[in-house]
A and B are shown apart, each in its own frame.
Chain A
Amino acid sequence: MTLVEAETDVAVSRGELGRRAPGVPRTVLNLISVLVGLGVWWGASLTGIDIPGPAVVLKRGMELAADGTLGADVLASVKRVLSGFLLGVLAAVPVGFLMGWYPAVRALVEPWIQFFRTIPPLALIPLAIVLMGIEETPKIFVIFLASFLSCVIATLQGVLTVDRTLLNAARVLGANDRVIFARVVIPASSPFILVGMRIGLGSSWATLVAAELIAAQQGLGYRMQSAQLYYDLPTIFVGLISIGLLGLLMDRLLLLAERRLTDWQETR
């Protein structure tokens, strides 16, 4: 049994192979980077360039938070992004699976997807307003479209790259089509779907602000748009930073989910 022992060592040490460089920990470097960035911003605001400094923006942010405007705006924006994004993912995953599994479905659907992919979702806003009015529907629709298009392509790619050997292995182990789909195709394409979701979330956020230009009464995009009229730069900065931080937070949450769900992958 010497062979088994030798392999044990390999298996254990392989898991512990760290890629961390010696020296300063990563979080410290991250923190330094953030502080340097804030310093550059503050320095720039002192040189006479017409932008508010960090302190002014922070003060404005606290005011907006205190009177409830910021909270309401964040809530309105997050609601739009999440509903559009989630609807997009919910539609994209089954469509992507069907396209990957049935060549006929792919041949029927793909021209439309490729066509709409070349149109920025924002370019559909005028049409969406005319057809859907000025309520929430057109805003959520363009966000939905942005997230659907990035996610459907990723899901299709995922299904297409499922290893044929794994499908054969499942078949010879007695799996029927339903089992192959649920226990092989879905897990095998999950890394692609999760990457598609991250990209979809990115485009959802990108679409949000413009979507909120459509006669919105609330939301971070609306707030910035109206602040522009009054030359209220601190409020614009508060809006920008809020969008950035919220986007980052959501992306990190998805990344965390991705890590947990696709931890089985060979390469990382």
Chain B
Amino acid sequence: MITVENVRKVFPLPKGEEFVALGDVSLALQDNEFVTVVGPSGCGKSTLLNILAGLETPTRGRALVDGEPVTGPGPERGVIFQQYALFPWLTVRKNVEFGLRNRGVPRAERRATADHFIELVGLERFADALPKTLSGGMKQRVAIARAYAVNPSILLMDEPFGAVDALTRVRLQEQLLATWSQERRTVLFITHDVDEAVFLANRVVVMAARPGRIAEIVDVDLPYPRTEESRLSPRFTALRNRVWSAVYHQESVA
């Protein structure tokens, strides 16, 4: 259970000005929900994720995970970054084992866990390869396996498929849902892609900029597992159109 209570985040700018990344944001995620956050750049969606990850502290308000205030990164929260953030000097398996090693998991157990998640993302043939030999989509799958390996109850994903081509992106979305259906977690997924937001989520949070705030929350009542049919269904189109206009026809407050 994730709760965001009246979070405000202000970044100081040079010349004494300030940028209000998040105005006054409140949000609650139930366990095992898949929530996507979509909005224009500058709406504070990445800031919101960083606060939940414990990489930023809110200027005001607080973020709670299972009732506990977030004060820093924690093992129950896995983070997946847009730039993959794989350690380039470690093999795929060593990357996936990184978090387990920090926890002092014995070698044999580490390896078994890593291999399980590498297999889950379909990269068992590349377990001993260095990241530089992998394509962007494969790297992101390694990052997903690495986040899963430490067994977090929450996955925070910051535009994870933003840097891959459209075709790969669709495959990765399907694969992410397949992984999620086998290993249920609470997912907060940031994206700027409306289709992606609707296809993945059971709730879409639409944010607006200046100041960063939640404009609308759209429930996606499409059943899982989602397939190509879901993507092409009239219901999907209707939801997509609704989210689209919420994102692109925002009245400005400022």
Contacts and interface: CB of A to CB of B under 8 A. Distances in A.
Interface stretch (B124-132, B198-206, B234-242): B124-132
A173 B88 contact: no
B103 interface: yes
Interface stretch (A3-11, A85-93, A150-158, A214-222): A3-11
B162 interface: no
A197 B132 CA distance: 25
Contacts of B123: 4
Interface in B128-147: 129-135, 137-138, 146
Contact of A173 (B99, B134, B171): B99
Interface residues of B, number: 38
A130 interface: no
Contacts of A264: 88-90, 130-132
A72 interface: no
B125 A8 contact: yes
A235 B77 CA distance: 70
Nearest to B50: A168
A163 B86 CA distance: 11
A11 B126 contact: yes
A165 B125 CA distance: 27
A124 to B, nearest CB: 38
A14 B138 CA distance: 14
Contacts of A266: 88, 132
B55 A11 contact: no
Interface string A173-204: 11110010001100110100000000000000
B55 A175 contact: no
A3 B171 contact: yes
Dominant secondary structure of chain B at its interface with chain A: loop
Interface residues of A, number: 31
Interface string A29-62: 0000000000000000000000000000000000
Contacts of B78: 172
Contacts of B134: 7, 11
B238 to A, nearest CB: 29
Contacts of A184: 87
A169 B133 contact: no
Contacts, number: 82
A265 B138 contact: no
Contact of A171 (B55, B83, B122, B130): B55
A173 B102 contact: yes
A79 B251 CA distance: 75
Nearest to B102: A174
B122 A1 contact: yes
B190 to A, nearest CB: 15
Contacts of A175: 98, 102
Interface of B: 53-55, 72-73, 75, 77-79, 81, 83, 85-90, 98-99, 102-103, 122-123, 125-126, 129-135, 137-138, 146, 150, 168, 171
Given A172-B54, A172-B78, A176-B102, 19 more contacts: A1-B122, A3-B171, A7-B137, A8-B125, A166-B85, A168-B85, A169-B79, A170-B98, A171-B55, A172-B73, A173-B99, A173-B146, A174-B75, A174-B99, A175-B98, A190-B89, A264-B90, A264-B130, A265-B88
> Closest 7 A-B residue pairs measured CB to CB?
A173-B99, A169-B85, A174-B102, A172-B79, A264-B89, A172-B73, A165-B85
21 contacts: A4-B122, A7-B138, A11-B129, A163-B83, A165-B85, A168-B79, A168-B85, A169-B81, A171-B72, A172-B54, A172-B77, A172-B79, A173-B98, A173-B146, A174-B75, A174-B103, A176-B102, A183-B98, A190-B89, A263-B130, A266-B132
Interface of A: 1, 3-4, 7-8, 10-11, 14-15, 163, 165-166, 168-176, 179, 183-184, 187-188, 190, 263-266
